[in-house]
Amino acid sequence: MLTYDELTGPERELWDAFPEGRRVDLRSGSPEEDRVAGGGEWGPERTVRAAVIAALLLGSNAAQRPGAVGSLSLAGARISGRLDLAGARIEHPLWLEECWFEQEVNLYGAETRTVAIMSSRVPRLEAGASRIGGRLDLHGTQVEAGPPSSPFHRASTALSLVNAHVAGGIMLNRARLIAPDGWAMAAGGLVVEGGLFCRRGFVADGEVRLLGAQLPGGLFLQGARLERPGPHGVTLALDNAVAQTVDCSGGFVSNGTVRLRGAQITDNLTFEDAVLEGTPDGGEGTGPALVAMLMQAADFDFALARRPTGAVDLRGAQVSYLHEGAHSWPEVVELDGFVYGSIKTAEADGERREAVSGPAAVTRRVEWIRRSPGYSPQPYEQLAAWYRKVGHDDDARRVLLAKQRHRRRTLSPTARVWGHLLDATVGYGYRPWLAGVWLLTLTLLGTLVFRAHTPAPVKPGEGAPFQPLVYTLDLLVPIGGLGQRTAWYWTDPTPQWLAYALIAFGWILTTAVIAGVTRTLQKN
């Protein structure tokens, strides 16, 4: 137990100020001398032992002044030793500003009120399993990872909030978490009722790990930079997390994989004007830029500032509204099972509009779908269903025709030949007017050729006179008969071979029309 006589001058000043909640400021007033980066050089006049801070917070000077609320408020100090408050029950707020910590801060399993360590330098902060009744404020603070805290931790961690519960918000604006090749923030199972704010200059060197986190107040990363991925190439991991909002807009940059597997966002997930790089500079190969398998969101804004360098995986994801733009889709997009209710496109003027109809718009969206490896019918069916829903049936047919052309590439050579035939004649049933064009063309060709030649009657003096137009139609229509084909024959080989060809084309057109209509009526 520390006694008053054992305290240094700065420590006595802090001891006396604690019951009244007065702030103790040890800064010199010189910007150069007060730089936190040089805090290791501060002398005894600015040094406070961590044991003294712990003693005050644990009740060593609990006498309260009338009309005052006790709290520990300290600025510009060098904190020597390890601040160990693991398992403690702390009734007083902790406010530290522009302080330099010699060793880590340990709040594991602690119950406390507001903890504010702002614009400071901390080697490591352990707050796993803690219960913070107010907010955790690390605004502008640099937290650096040391070696793994135990043999069970495979990666070094800067800020640990595993299974912590914060009633207020967590403020990490302008903070920097440094854990190269490790975990900048390990916060699996974290619950934050007031929101997690990592905005305005927040930088993470290492993975921000929020597996299974509960964030009813939302996650806000506007303008944040995730510089280095963790051990698995991931910069942000939100697997199975539940959040009201995830905002990665306003210049958000990720130099690794953003992973949201199974995440549930009840409101808005936005990457507007964000930059997603699949692999950090100097990496080997290109990892995925976004993995959002089985993700659910009400509103998904993916209008990026520039095209991702890595793949985007949206397999099994479900969103109500999809916002996309010219830079949304990389060379590889996994879309099998991706379901959306509406599409809006970010135009050059910044406006968001419903999906534009017409061949050009369909072509652009089909190109997006074809970036999926292999062939899957579901993305085509999903896009066609959307076009039908908004009343663009012609565009829906264009999408389904593109689906059949993509599927044709996966078939055997014989099936591909038949597919080309269906495509050329009736557009797989989605362009039945092509059959009419073929029929008109062949009818015109046959009429002109047969008019220039004279056939011989099968039975002279019997039957109707020769009519080139009716004879051509009789050859093209394989069902029934008009009496011309059986009444005349050719001695000249040219019209005879043309007659054979027209009979063959008639059967092909008829079969193609039947197959195309059947394909249209039945989903494949």
Element (H, E) at 393: helix 393-408
> Positive or negative CA dihedral for 307, 308, 314, 319?
negative
Q: For residue 251, is it left (φ>0), alpha (ψ between -120 and 50) or beta?
A: left
Say how far apart CA 518 and CA 404 lie, in whole Å: 14
pTM above 0.85, yes or no: no
pLDDT tens string, the chain, 524 residues long: the values are 678 889 999 999 999 999 988 999 999 999 999 999 999 999 999 999 999 999 999 988 766 666 567 899 999 999 999 999 999 999 999 999 999 999 999 999 999 999 999 999 999 999 999 999 999 999 999 999 965 544 444 468 999 999 999 999 999 999 999 998 899 999 999 999 999 999 989 999 999 999 999 999 999 999 999 988 877 889 999 999 999 999 999 999 999 999 999 999 999 999 999 999 987 544 455 789 999 999 999 999 999 999 999 999 999 999 999 999 888 999 999 999 999 999 888 665 455 555 555 677 888 888 889 888 889 999 999 999 998 888 888 888 888 888 888 888 888 888 878 677 667 666 666 776 666 777 788 788 888 888 888 788 877 767 678 888 887 777 877 776 777 777 777 878 888 888 888 888 777 777 766 665 665 555 44
Output the six-digit token pair for 143: 């937290």
Spatial separation of the C-alpha atoms in residues 465 and 367, rounded to whole Å:
56
Joined together, the tokens standing for residue 499 give: 């007659």
Which residue, among 225, 181, 238, has the nearest Cα to 207 in the 3D structure? 181
Domain ranges (residues) in the chain: 1-103, 417-521
Would you give the DSSP letter of residue 427? G
Token pair 């064009």 in the structure block, residue: 437
Q: Which residues pair with 175 in a beta bridge?
A: none
